[in-house]
């Protein structure tokens, strides 16, 4: 099942509102994943076509990674390896269609930090849970779906009333409905055993590590709910600890500061979205939100 944001792409076609895709972190991540996937196919000999391939097996996390500190880098790299065309296709579609809006909202640098943290938390959490189970089994873990699930949920948390179209059947649904479907499917999958019994023979396919998806979703919820910031993971930050996303300044009557006027207008538009839904916005109001988002992103990336 794929999704895309119908209104987001309609507005993208307007003059002066085009998001420069080659400059986005989302497109950069997709290019890296696709290049590694193609390279893995090129370096896999025909007689071993049914196996993971050299690059994928090297990048993948496994049941041995947790107990071997010199392999801990695999807790990150597994998210850039995929076990087949359908696997990478649906992960990259989800990242492309909804990830760009999340990146635009949080900023390029913060989006990358969020994405990488969700990759690491998903694999470390998965390996730890598996090791603690009385019937722990060997596993090979690949794929970006844990981080992609978290990115999709961040979109849903921030824009719950946005209209999305399911793919390939173009059924319009509200974002929060899709969120309920995603969470419910992954909870049922984990309870049914999909989350803890992955395939171990290196063949294409295997079971779905839904518990990794749930870890990404849980982090996305906590990040959104607590207004976290991950700037301390990057350069230029003095101090550590929990950081809140800067709030827009409150407009005071009689104050002619352009930033404060924009802040007041954004507050009004957000309140309208909560009352009437995103579909009630005019073209001018959508443009105002996009301009404010770009300004906020530029300030975060400075």
Residue 275's pLDDT band (cuts 50, 70, 90) = low
CATH number of the domain where residue 77 is located: 1.20.1540.10
5 SS3 class? strand
What mean pLDDT is predicted for residues 193-220?
Answer: 70
Pair 274, 171 in one domain: no
What is the reported pLDDT for 120? 97
Closest listed residue to residue 300, CA positions, set 260, 243, 239, 255: 243
Considering the chain, what percentage of its residues have pLDDT values greater than 70? Answer: 74
Category of 105 on φ-ψ map: left (φ > 0), alpha (ψ -120 to 50) or beta: alpha
Domain boundary residue among 225, 245, 265?
Answer: 245
Does residue 216 carry a pLDDT above 50? yes
Q: How far apart are the first and last CA of the chain?
A: 37
Domain boundary residue among 245, 268, 293?
Answer: 245
Pair 209, 63 in one domain: yes
Pair 10, 77 in one domain: yes
**Which of 68-77, 125-134, 189-198, 223-232 ranks highest by mean pLDDT?**
68-77
Pair 113, 176 in one domain: yes
Strand partners, 174: 163
DSSP-assigned letter for residue 84: S
Burial of 107 by CB count in 10 Å (0-12 exposed, 13-18 middle, 19+ buried)? buried
Domain boundary residue among 200, 225, 245?
Answer: 245
Pair 268, 169 in one domain: no
Q: Which domain holds residue 170?
A: 2-245
Task: Quote the CA–CA distance of 9 and 249 in Å, as a whole number.
Answer: 29
Torsion of CA 185, 186, 190, 191, to 10 degrees: -40
Segments in 159-234 forming alpha helices (H) = 175-191, 210-226
Summarize pLDDT for 176-197 with one digit per residue, the tens. 999 999 999 999 988 876 554 4
Number of domains in the chain: 2
Pair 29, 65 in one domain: yes
Pair 43, 79 in one domain: yes
Pair 31, 177 in one domain: yes
Pair 250, 139 in one domain: no
Is the pTM of the predicted complex or chain greater than 0.75? Answer: no
Pair 80, 181 in one domain: yes
Pair 296, 198 in one domain: no
Which helix H or strand E contains 62, and what residues bound it? strand 61-62
CB 11 within 8 Å of CB 17: yes
Residue 4's pLDDT band (cuts 50, 70, 90) = very low
Summarize pLDDT for 38-50 with one digit per residue, the tens. 999 887 765 554 5
Summarize pLDDT for 8-40 with one digit per residue, the tens. 433 333 333 343 444 789 999 999 999 999 999
Q: How far is CA 26 from the centre of its chain?
A: 9
Pair 92, 231 in one domain: yes
For 133-265, list the strands marked E by DSSP: 140-141, 163-167, 172-174
Q: Is the peptide bond before 4 cis (omega within 30 degrees of 0)?
A: no
DSSP-assigned letter for residue 91: H
More confident residue, 192 or 61: 61
Does residue 114 carry a pLDDT above 70? yes
Place of tokens 């999909």: 194
Task: Quote the CA–CA distance of 155 and 101 in Å, as a whole number.
Answer: 7
What mean pLDDT is predicted for residues 104-128?
Answer: 94
More confident residue, 223 or 232: 223
């Amino acid at each position: 099942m794929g999704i895309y944001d119908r209104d987001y792409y309609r507005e993208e076609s307007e003059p002066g509102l085009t998001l420069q895709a080659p400059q986005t972190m989302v497109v950069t991540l997709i290019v890296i994943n696709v290049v590694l996937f193609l390279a893995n196919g090129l370096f896999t000999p025909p007689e071993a076509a049914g196996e993971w391939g050299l690059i994928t097996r090297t990048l993948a996390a496994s049941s041995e990674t947790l107990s071997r500190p010199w392999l801990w880098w695999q807790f990150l790299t597994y998210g850039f390896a995929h076990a087949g065309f359908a696997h990478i296709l649906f992960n990259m579609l989800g990242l492309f269609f909804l990830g760009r809006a999340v990146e635009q909202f949080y900023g390029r640098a913060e989006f990358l930090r969020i994405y990488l943290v969700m990759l690491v938390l998903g694999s470390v959490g998965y390996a730890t849970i598996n090791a603690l189970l009385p019937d722990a089994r060997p596993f090979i873990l690949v794929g970006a779906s844990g981080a992609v699930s978290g990115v999709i949920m961040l979109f849903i948390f921030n824009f719950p009333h946005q209209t999305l179209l399911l793919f390939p059947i173009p059924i319009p649904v509200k974002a929060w409905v899709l969120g309920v479907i995603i969470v419910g499917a992954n909870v049922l999958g984990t309870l049914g055993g999909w989350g803890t019994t992955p395939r171990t023979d290196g063949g294409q396919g295997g079971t779905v590590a839904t518990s990794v998806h749930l870890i990404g979703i849980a982090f996305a919820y906590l990040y959104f709910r607590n207004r976290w910031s991950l700037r301390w993971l990057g350069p230029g930050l003095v101090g550590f600890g929990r950081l809140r996303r800067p709030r827009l300044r409150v407009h005071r009557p009689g104050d002619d500061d352009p930033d404060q006027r924009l802040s007041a207008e954004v507050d009004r538009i957000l309140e309208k979205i909560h009352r009437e839904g995103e579909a009630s916005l005019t073209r001018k109001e959508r443009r105002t939100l996009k301009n404010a988002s770009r300004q906020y992103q530029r300030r975060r990336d400075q």
